[in-house]
Amino acid sequence: MKISTDPRIRILVDKRLEEMNASGLMKCPDVPPDMATGPQDQEGWIPWRAIPSTITPQQIATLQIDLGYRLPSLFVDLLLYKHFLELDYDEIKFLPLPSNEGINAVRKWVETESNFFNLLQKGYVIFALSQNDESYYCFMVNYPQQIQGTTSIDYPVVLWKPTDKINSRGKLVFNSFADLVESLTADSLSPAWNDSSYSTGIKVQPLP
């Protein structure tokens, strides 16, 4: 079955990977054979390419049942689109999706890692890291947003640090995952955005 990918996800992934490839950044020390495009160099780096995702809608449906939450529709599109080892935007590092791990790569973040910090109990689901690896981007799944006229769902996005107090809600940085994607694809996210400023260029509505 052919998956119809939202054009915003195609832009989010393909444009950034083209930029990374042009800059010689698509190299990692551990690359699945079907993603490698060349031999390991003297420093241990292997060039890689993105390939079509082998994750299935059925696997995602099972994961959502296990989590007890639906994932944002655009995020599901991301998982179903391509396998990649890195997808970094300024301060955002999306979870890696290596082909040899498939849906387990997703589980490792949204389920195992979220449980490690007891975030699922708070209604937080991890999906990305800050560039300095000190903070987590999370969906606030206790605040679902039904997209009008569709069966799609979305959530506010918070930036949460393990050093925050256990009851802290973190910093609300986007009203939805769609806002985050549109900000990145529109190049409206300031390069100066960091953990201290939380400036997105989008007016974030306070949570109730």
User: At 50, is the pLDDT very low, low, confident or very high (cuts 50, 70, 90)?
Assistant: very high
Rounded alpha-carbon distances, angstroms, from residue 61 to 54, 76, 163: 14, 10, 32
Q: What's residue 194's pLDDT? A: 34
In angstroms, the CA 32 to CA 79 distance is 17
User: At 204, is the pLDDT very low, low, confident or very high (cuts 50, 70, 90)?
Assistant: very low
Task: Find residue 126's DSSP bridge partners.
Answer: 138
Q: What's residue 75's pLDDT? A: 95
pLDDT digits (tens, 9 = 90+) for 93-133: 999 999 999 999 998 888 877 777 788 888 889 999 998 88
In angstroms, the CA 153 to CA 67 distance is 15
pLDDT digits (tens, 9 = 90+) for 152-162: 899 999 998 88
3-state secondary structure of 86: coil
Query: Would you put residue 102 in left (φ > 0), alpha (ψ -120 to 50) or beta?
Result: left
55 neighbors 103 (Cβ within 8 angstroms)? yes
User: At 200, is the pLDDT very low, low, confident or very high (cuts 50, 70, 90)?
Assistant: very low
Mean pLDDT of the chain: 84
